[in-house]
Amino acid sequence: MPKLPVFKMFIDGQWQSSSSSQTFQKLNPATGRPIGIFQRGSKHDVNDAIESAEKAFGKWSEIPAPKRGKILLKVAELLEKNKESLAKELTEEMGKVLEESRGDIQEAIDMAEYMAGEGRRLFGKTTTSELKNKFAMTIREPIGVVGCITPWNFPFAIPSWKLFPALACGNTVVFKPSSDTPRCAIRLVEILEKAGLPKGVLNLVTGSGSSIGDAIVNDKRVRMVSFTGHRDTGKGILKKAGIKKVSLELGSKNVVIIMNDADLSLALDGVVWGAFGTTGQRCTAASRVIVHDSIKEKFEKMLLERTRKLKIGNGLDKGVQVGPLINKEALRKVHKYTRIGLKEGAKLLIGGKRYGIKGNFYHPTIFTNVSPKMRIAQEEIFGPTTAIISAKNLDDAIEKANSVEYGLSFSIYTKDIDKAFEAIRKLQSGIVYVNASTIGAEIHLPFGGVKESGFGREGGWTAIEEFSNEKTVYVDYSGKLQRAQIDVD
């Protein structure tokens, strides 16, 4: 067996081992073979990373934002140049099919380009004062040291949604990626280093979420925590963060609604992509399908036929559409929900079992006759499982769609413009798609949820609002004391 490569953490501009001398291995989810040895960072390493970020903040925040943006342009260029090899590594590390891995990197490229431009658009506002000869405006300022904690399912895209706007705004960063995708995080940081990011501006600590994640969240020197991950982890972070800015991008139980006037083959494409793309491991996955009673049987047959043909396998192999689950624990969790669904009385249309004996593969799984209260219709499964629920009419569909604790990305297929607009207004989610699936967010628009899917918005102009403070400035050039609310005439 060839010797495994050993990867380091990046603190204060140096690639270094953990002070604990502890390491962990990361396995390829398709083959079960280890891909490398990674550092299990300690609280001491987190302390060094925060100290380094704090030290670098003064100089970095004073560099004019358009200049900071130029580094991101270089990042985009390097990502583009290395796209194919990075995509292969990504697939090897997390199992996503190669085409989707390319998409993951493309998202990071797009975000780098967009945020480079934002360096020239850190707009404040000006407005009128209620008093004469007084000027009122706002300016954007960086927040300070930002802790960015990310999951594994978009190992380039999600860190880029955080790091790039944070850096463009002039913050310095302590980055803690998921232990399931440390290598992608290291590759991204290598690129930022190569692009010319000054020492200490970005620090990477790898290792367990519960120890080093906690150390980042608890530290008062960290002025903001930007977290993407599971709802329960997010709840814990919110409790521990104290008085600092927190943004939470959490899980969901998304839905595709299909009305009886919908283009069914279009809806079919959307459901298959939404439910089984990335093996259902997306916060925006379509894990519920609400179908109008009158077309339910027909649509089920179409869905069954298409699902049967899906090619499962190693994401590096040509033609594969559904890759493995991220790890053994995810495999157990997905299968646990199959058992729960059966116990609850839902009808298993297809799947419900492991695929093969090697790797973490699971058959795309569809339950029907699901009632909205069942756990498989309420809880995030984060695997290739979807639940079909029937509805009498639009009101019924919307009520059922909104009957979950989450609200990230909901969709409706209908040709009726009145119904579409009614749904846009009434669906309780941060994102609504009409005649498109639940997945497909673009980087220049706000992204985020409502209810227990979290708060805060990433992407587009809202990312800049998220990663900066807006300072209010009054300039009184009247030469006398003017008292707001008192000297009104």
DSSP H stretches of helix in 63-181:
65-81, 83-94, 98-118, 157-168
- Among positions 142, 251, 352, 407, the unique one binding ligand NAD when judged by CB under 6 A: 251
Nearer to ligand NAD, 201 or 441 (CB): 441
Residues 167-206 that bind ligand NAD (CB under 6 A): 176-179
Query: How many Å apart are CA 265 and CA 303, to the nearest integer?
Result: 9
Catalytic residue, chosen from 148, 169, 184, 283, is 283
- 184 assigned to active site: no
CA separation for the pair 361, 358 (Å, rounded): 8
When asked if residue 213 is in the footprint of ligand NAD (CB under 6 A), the reply is: yes
Catalytic residue among 93, 107, 249, 458: 249
Q: Any long-range contacts for 364-373 (C-beta under 8 Å, 24+ apart)?
A: 364/275, 364/276, 364/280, 364/307, 364/310, 364/312, 364/322, 365/334, 365/338, 366/275, 366/303, 366/304, 366/307, 367/341, 368/296, 368/300, 369/345, 370/288, 370/341, 370/346, 372/400, 372/403, 373/403
| Residue number, 11 or 381, with CB nearest to ligand NAD | 381
Which residue's CB is nearer to ligand NAD, number 36 or number 449? 449
Contact 149, 188 (CB under 8 A): no
Residue (of 299, 314, 361) closest to 91 by Cα position = 314
Q: How far apart are CA 353 and CA 277, in angstroms?
A: 18
Give the binding range for ligand NAD (CB under 6 A) out of 23-31, 224-232, 256-264, 481-489. Answer: 224-232
User: Does 362 sit near ligand NAD (CB under 6 A)?
Assistant: no
Q: Say whether residue 405 binds ligand NAD (CB under 6 A).
A: no
Q: Is 214 in the site for ligand NAD (CB under 6 A)?
A: yes
Q: Does 236 bind ligand NAD (CB under 6 A)?
A: yes
* Residue pointed to by tokens 């850096």: 167
379 contacts ligand NAD (rule: CB under 6 A): no
111 sits near ligand NAD (criterion: CB under 6 A): no
Contact assessment for residue 166 and residue 223, using Cβ atoms and an 8 Å cutoff: no
Q: Kindly state whether residue 217 participates in binding ligand NAD, applying the rule CB under 6 A.
A: yes
Q: 149 or 397: whose CB is closer to ligand NAD?
A: 149
**Taking CB under 6 A as the rule, does residue 404 contact ligand NAD?**
no
Among residues 202, 203, 201, the alpha carbon closest in space to that of 63 is found at: 201
Name which of 179 and 365 has its Cβ closer to ligand NAD: 179
d(CA 405, CA 321): 30
Taking contact as CB under 6 A, which single stretch among the options 14-22, 228-236, 296-304, 474-482 is the one that binds ligand NAD? 228-236
Nearer to ligand NAD, 224 or 420 (CB): 224
Q: Are 195 and 75 in contact (CB under 8 A)?
A: yes
Among 38, 57, 164, 382, binds ligand NAD (CB under 6 A): 382
- Pick 400 or 457: Cβ nearer ligand NAD: 457
Residue whose tokens read 């060094």 = 48
CB of 283 to ligand NAD, least distance (A): 3
**What does the DSSP assignment read for 254-301?**
-EEEE-TTS-HHHHHHHHHHHHHGGGG-STT---EEEEEGGGHHHHHH
Select from 97, 149, 157, 427 the one that contacts ligand NAD (CB under 6 A): 149
Residues 272-311 that bind ligand NAD (CB under 6 A): 283
Task: At 388, list the tokens.
Answer: 């079909």
Name the packing angle between helices 157-168 and 65-81 (round to 10°). 160
Q: Are 223 and 367 in contact (CB under 8 A)?
A: no
Among 249, 300, 452, 466, binds ligand NAD (CB under 6 A): 249
| Binding flag, residue 209, ligand NAD (CB under 6 A) | yes
Work out whether 152 is an interface residue with ligand NAD (CB under 6 A): yes
For 67, 72, 113, 346, 479, the CA distances from 118, given in Å and listed in that order, are 11, 10, 9, 49, 37
114 binds ligand NAD (CB under 6 A): no
Question: For 306, phi and psi rounded to 5 degrees?
Answer: -70, -40
Instruction: Give the chain's length.
Output: 489
Least distance CB 95 / ligand NAD (angstroms): 14
Q: Closest approach of Cβ 237 to ligand NAD, in Å? A: 5
Among 380, 388, 398, 413, binds ligand NAD (CB under 6 A): 380
What the block records as the tokens of 271 is 């459901």
Is position 28 an interface residue for ligand NAD (rule: CB under 6 A)? no
User: Where does this chain touch ligand NAD (CB under 6 A) — which range of 197-205, 229-237, 288-296, 368-376?
Assistant: 229-237
Residue number, 69 or 430, with CB nearest to ligand NAD: 430
Residue 366 found at the interface with ligand NAD (CB under 6 A): no
Q: By CB under 6 A, how many residues form the interface with ligand NAD?
A: 29
> Please, how many CA atoms are within 13 Å of residue 33, restricted to the half-sphere of its CB?
9
Q: Which residues contact 343 (CB under 8 A, 6 or more apart)?
A: none
Residues 444-463 that bind ligand NAD (CB under 6 A): 449
* Active site (catalytic) residues: 249, 283
**Residues in touch with ligand NAD (CB under 6 A):** 149-153, 158, 176-179, 209-210, 213-214, 217, 228-230, 233, 236-237, 249-251, 283, 380, 382, 408, 449
